[in-house]
Amino acid sequence: METSGAFRTGLTQDHRVSDIVRDVMSPCPRTLAPEATLIDAALVMRREDIGDVRVCEEGDRLVGIVTDRDIVVRALAEGRDPAGTRVADAAAGISSPSSRGTAWAARCASCGRRPSGVSR
């Protein structure tokens, strides 16, 4: 019996990548305003059991994403205080507006969520 590739993962040729992505993506991604702190981001990640938070400006414009790794590598390892470091200062930025940013904003809006200092 073969145990590699699509057979091993239970996928058939009828599955499309979009079907697979839809299965693992959060239907309603969490967002924070750029002014939120890394502590705020870490609390959201712990509460929601997720590894990243989108950083959105007013109007739901996606400007970056901060991951649990960003908190460790870009902040803690550099000696920054997570309570005083803004997510905007540690987030991986999106250099130009794109359809990806627009799609995330639409997804945030569809859930009725708006970026805030803390999403509690």
Task: Report pLDDT for 9.
Answer: 55
Task: Report pLDDT for 77.
Answer: 92
List pLDDT tens digits, range 5-51: 544 455 555 666 666 666 766 678 899 999 999 999 999 999 999 99
Task: Report pLDDT for 53.
Answer: 94
What band does 116 get if pLDDT is binned at 50, 70 and 90?
very low
CA torsion angle 86 92 98 104 (round to 10): -70
List the domains of the chain with CATH numbers: 28-110 (3.90.1280.20)
CB–CB of 31/119 below 8 Å?
Answer: yes
60 compared with 18, residue with greater pLDDT: 60
Task: Report pLDDT for 23.
Answer: 72
**Considering only CA atoms, which of 95, 99, 38, 94 is closest in space to residue 67?**
38
List pLDDT tens digits, range 63-111: 999 999 999 998 999 999 999 999 999 988 765 444 444 554 555 555 5
- Torsion 83-84-90-91 (CA) sign: positive
- Three-state SS sequence of 39-71: HHHHHHHHHHCCCEEEEEECCCEEEEEEEHHHH
